[in-house]
Amino acid sequence: MELGEWISYCQEVIDKLRVSKDHILKLSKQERAKLSQATEELREKFIYCILSEDQIEEAKLWIDKLLSKIEDLKKSAGIKGVTFAKELRSFLEDPLLHLKKKIFVYTFDLLSGNLRIADYIMKAGAAIRTSLRTNMRSIYQTWVFLVLIDQLVKDHGRIVYPEHGYIYVERNRRQTLGMLLPNCIVEFNHGKRLSFFIEVPRPLSWEDSSDLAKVWKFYVALRPDFMVYSGTEMNIAMPERTPPVKRPNVIIECKELEDWYKRTRDLRGWWTKAISAEHWRLLWLRGLWQGLAEAMGIKTKEELIKTITEERKGLRVKEYRLVQIYKKFYNPDVMLLITRTALPKEIKEDIEKAGLVTFDDIGFNEDRLTEAVDLLKKFGRKEVSQRTITDLIREKYNLGEIDDQLIEQAIMRLIDRHLNEFLSELKQS
């Protein structure tokens, strides 16, 4: 359906239903069912005015890729499942239904006369595009994350954390204890470990103005897709520092869009002054949107119009420049850029000159991530308490990838042959 046809259809529905906010409470059960069905059809037809059927089908294909990877991990790592944020979980269950939910309130306001058709097209259309783009990005980012975990586990490994068998992918509830906890700790290659953190730093909990001032950096910090640390790291928050987290060994950034490097991002952040807790709560009472908007550095419409020209000159950057800023700001040992599609030669060269390692044209081909996994493995570290006699022998005599069991069997045979000499050494010790 073309947008013009939808507008005519929408006007027919509005004229037919003649709904008001007061009237909705007086509708009979049958009338409510009729209204619900009308809004269902209206929303679905509108979604297909904004998006093509191919876009919805592509979303379903990506969802299948992600769910298939989860099943692989259940077999290789013995996990019970993966937990997602509510938004992504809803999209994974049914992308079309999720998008219809996103515009339900706008649709009711439209039918009750509180929103003009032109405003509905603008607001509901933006909500649909943003939701699709955000969830598609999360799907690809999560697929990459799970592939990396899966390939590490397959190297004589296991998932050490979380212990209960569910991998956390959601971000927003991971720091309510005032800590930045890992999403996953993987053990591989006879005991080496890597700790993975998704989209950190994230805001920490706070109670009063002094607390909020301390954690303000977490609200405005740059957030790469993944930070990876050698060994076991259970809390990387360091509020007294800038940036407010422990320096990562590896940063990984994923890009799912074909034209991502052409896009720009408005940077507002670490130079902004922290507001007080009292001011925060006042803003909250004035309205959730205004409060959160100011907390994230977004001005009111009036203020924005006055200052948009001055501010955006210095704060708007290309996405491919932003990934370079991540590296300079956090100073990791290495930063990996993983892109679903191929990069233009000049963009790739520019990024690599800044010291990033690029893996482009990955698509959903897991084999293309093998080199990235090999690079990650170099940062695996054993905890001191984990080191065994076989570890010491392997390192001292450069035995590489020889299995622990083979080393143990060789030690036992040598002791059998030289038992008296072995016991004599023990007595002298």
Which residues does 6 contact at the CB level (< 8 Å), separation at least 6?
45, 46, 49
pLDDT at 293: 45
- Is 30 or 333 the better-scoring residue by pLDDT? 333
What is the distance of C-alpha 314 from the center of its chain?
27
Which residues does 128 contact at the CB level (< 8 Å), separation at least 6?
46, 47, 50, 51, 99, 102, 103
φ/ψ (deg, to 5) at 193:
-130, 150
pLDDT at 20: 67
Which structure tokens are listed for 313?
A: 């000159």
Nearest to 129 by CA among 46, 8, 11: 46
CA distance 56 to 302: 37
Which residues does 217 contact at the CB level (< 8 Å), separation at least 6?
201, 239, 242, 243, 244, 270
What is the CA angle 371-376-379, rounded to 5?
Answer: 145
Please state, in angstroms and as integers, the Cα–Cα distance from residue 78 to each residue in 82, 184, 197, 380, following that order. 12, 14, 21, 21
Q: Is the pLDDT of residue 48 over 90?
A: yes
The amino acid at 321: R
Nearest to 243 by CA among 265, 224, 267, 270: 270
pLDDT at 305: 41
pLDDT at 266: 75
Compute how many other C-beta atoms are within 10 angstroms of the C-beta atom of residue 208.
Answer: 10
| pLDDT band at 146; cut points 50, 70, 90 | very high
167 close to 80: Cβ distance less than 8 angstroms = no
pLDDT at 241: 84
CA distance 181 to 195: 10
What single DSSP character describes residue 400? T
| pLDDT band at 311; cut points 50, 70, 90 | very low
What single DSSP character describes residue 273? P
CA distance 205 to 280: 13
Half-sphere exposure of 16 (CA within 13 A, CB side): 12
Q: Which of 157-171, 209-223, 321-335, 401-415 has the highest mean pLDDT?
A: 321-335
Tell how strand 250-255 and strand 334-339 pair up: parallel
pLDDT at 149: 97
| pLDDT band at 386; cut points 50, 70, 90 | low
Percentage of residues of the chain with pLDDT beyond 90: 55
pLDDT at 198: 95
What is the distance of C-alpha 268 from the center of its chain?
20
User: What average pLDDT score do residues 386-404 get?
Assistant: 76
pLDDT at 252: 98
| pLDDT band at 294; cut points 50, 70, 90 | very low
- Lowest-confidence range among 50-64, 265-279, 284-298? 284-298
181 close to 163: Cβ distance less than 8 angstroms = no
**Per-residue pLDDT tens over the stretch 204-232:** 655 555 555 667 677 778 899 999 999 99
| pLDDT band at 243; cut points 50, 70, 90 | confident
User: What average pLDDT score do residues 156-182 get?
Assistant: 81
| pLDDT band at 291; cut points 50, 70, 90 | very low
- To 10 degrees, the CA torsion angle through 38, 44, 50, 51? -170
Percentage of residues of the chain with pLDDT beyond 70: 80
76 close to 153: Cβ distance less than 8 angstroms = yes
CA distance 123 to 207: 35
Residue 297 CB-density burial (10 A; 0-12 exposed, 13-18 middle, 19+ buried): middle
Kindly report the pTM of this predicted structure: 0.79
Nearest to 117 by CA among 240, 40, 5, 21: 5
What DSSP string runs through 356-378? PEEE---TT-GGGGHHHHHHHHT
User: What average pLDDT score do residues 105-132 get?
Assistant: 93
pLDDT at 273: 52
φ/ψ (deg, to 5) at 43:
-65, -45
Please state, in angstroms and as integers, the Cα–Cα distance from residue 29 to each residue in 36, 153, 180, following that order. 11, 54, 48
